Structure 1
């Protein structure tokens, strides 16, 4: 499967009916509201969408603001947390009988595969599915990736003259005590990576053990990892690539290396819950994120997009210039819990 492959005609069956409307109320970092059925207002749609997301607050605020320009009568309320915390919240809500979200936008496919198996999602087809990369679309039609986010090696350009060019190098003695990485118990991307690395024939559990023997520092999530490298408290970090571009653009001494074995990547999927109180409004919001305008915003936010008609971020390689892991998502999902446990034990 290549990153430039297109999705087939089976995804063309449904399309969201998009229309203009009148005023949006934006609530950022709010507790989930009561929702209510979406209703028509003239030719538009009104309603409330409760979003659970791990997306950085400033970035999701920009997306909602742009969505406001097209659907101003849809209120979007946001509860933001790490993917692990979102899973815990959803589990607690399942136990009480009602999930509080309409849309989930978070880091890793295994989480979405698990929820799909529990019949927690509605079927969803983007309005422009033939424009999306095949790796971004659930072949069963329940979720859609919203950006391509590789994990890379970051380095402080003041402290590192010759950055590592492979994952294998990070397990060498020279890098003992030099590396910082995110906690896979909290970060969905880090949990996904633990499984992807353990299944990679060039790395596997042996590399994870060797990396752990080098006593890497563990940060809560990708953000603190990138900051630590930029500030020089650790010269090397394992981190998602867009954060490196964000900091470099702001003037921080941080660079990026794409390892020669390839890079694991997530697609930050989005899905609409089966019991969404405003399903039409929820689908309109998710559809906007993968629309041309939504993906232009992704590029402006330093993400690699899930469609190839919007360009790429400044100073970022195109997808065909990056060696991506050949990822079997079902195998990664099945292996993830055991891989996270082994990875956590190794780096403890």
Structure 2
């Protein structure tokens, strides 16, 4: 099978993005407005390792904010795309033991697999009742930390009439003008492929028609958003927070939420079963879900998983977005096949 069609310029940008471990400059962390976390009992000195797909600048902000609450906990971070992270976990598991304590990455399907294999311990989040129940694993092994929809982005200097649906992207007028992430690299893109194929209004017929427009396949969401912002490709399929960040920086880029509905990932977090630092790891999870942690997520342009912290500037409320929420178990079971279908069509 021939390789996916990847623009050399975008591929190079994607490599640089991975090396620099960031997609776009992160928003500044918010000034604390409350002090409840400051009263949390300080833990004894401990070191935890976090594997994450978060952009480096953003996870650095998270760690810094966490350390204002738990100054004795050292957080070591390994950052990579979800696909690379799962490969690393599998390699470590086969060679004697997973080296991470906490996993914070893109899609619930990965966590479902880990839970089924006994790799995760049950969580005991401190403020779980405040969390959107749609992002909470009913069995308690993981919980979402932010809402990240995949949307249509477009360059406002090139596109005068924004596409309003996924179906619009199959119109011949968008031939050779679309860019989207590679599901072999991006966990969110792999999840999206399965969701699209599961959706009756879309399915393989839509995906085949989209492929006929010959989209450029970039490594991940970061290079996709940059390609749209620069006009290299005027339309992109990408996570929404990157569009907000670039627009805030002055780029000619805007977002459209397709009327058929948008797939989303919730950047779940979980603790590996063989972690030696359970208390410190649980404290890190608790911080991510706390009001202060979620205010930081909002400042970083994410939609939050709790309703008492506001939303990013320019972002719609969740009840204004049509959301595709398929059965997670079904998506988990079909995701590998969906990625294979994607490879076969977008070659």
Which TM-score applies when normalising by structure 1?
A: 0.88
Q: Which residue of 1 aligns with 2:125?
A: 126
Report the RMSD for the aligned CA atoms in angstroms. Answer: 1.1
Q: Secondary structure of 2:189's partner?
A: helix
3-state SS of paired residue (2:237): strand
1:249 has 2:248 as partner: yes
What is the 5 A alignment of 1:320-339? 320-339=319-338
Deviation at 1:344, TM superposition (A): 1.8
Report the equivalent of 2:289: 290
Q: Distance in 2 between matches of 1:173 and 1:199?
A: 24
- Whether 1:19 and 2:18 are equivalent positions in the alignment is no
1:222-249 CA-partner distances (Å, limit 9, x unpaired): 0000000000000000000000001000
1:35-68: CA deviation from partner (whole Å, max 9, x where unpaired): xxxxxxxxx3321110000000011011100001
Name the structure 2 match of 1:233.
232
When the two structures are aligned, how many residues end up with a matched partner?
310
Q: What does 1:1-348 correspond to in 2, within 5 Å?
A: 19-21=40-42, 44-348=43-347
Q: Give, in whole Å, the separation in 2 of the partners of 1:145 and 1:323.
A: 19
- Residues 312 and 318, structure 1, Cα contact 8 Å, conserved in 2: yes
Q: CA deviation at 1:322?
A: 0.4
TM-superposed CA distance for 1:309, in Å, is 0.3
- Taking the aligned partners of 1:314 and 1:125, their CA distance within structure 2 comes to 32
Displacement of 1:109 in angstroms is 0.6
TM superposition shift of 1:19: 2.9
Please state how far the C-alpha of 1:20 moved relative to its aligned partner: 3.7
Question: What is the distance in 2 between the residues matched to 1:19 and 1:243?
Answer: 33
Structure with more relative contact order (C-alpha pairs < 8 Å, separation 6 or more): 2
Structure 1 runs not aligned, ≥5 long: 1-17, 22-43
Gaps of 5+ in 2: 1-38
d(CA) in 2 for partners of 1:83, 1:161: 35
Distance 1:336 1:323 in 2: 22
Distance 1:184 1:101 in 2: 24
Distance 2:191 2:345 in 1: 16
Contact 1:45–1:71 (CA under 8 A) maintained in structure 2: no
Distance 1:52 1:326 in 2: 26
- Distance in 1, matches of 2:289 and 2:224, equals 28
SS at match of 1:297: helix
Matched with 2:27 is none
Q: Deviations over 1:250-271 (max 9, x none)?
A: 1100000000001000001000
The answer on whether the counterparts of 1:153 and 1:259 sit within 8 Å (CA) in structure 2 is: yes
Q: Which residue of 1 aligns with 2:22?
A: none
1:112-160 deviation digits (Å, cap 9, x = unpaired): 0000000000100210111000111000000010000000000000000
Tell me the distance in 2 between the aligned counterparts of 1:341 and 1:326: 22
Alpha-carbon separation, structure 2, partners of 1:98 and 1:330: 26
How far apart, CA to CA, are the structure 1 residues paired with 2:41 and 2:214? 55
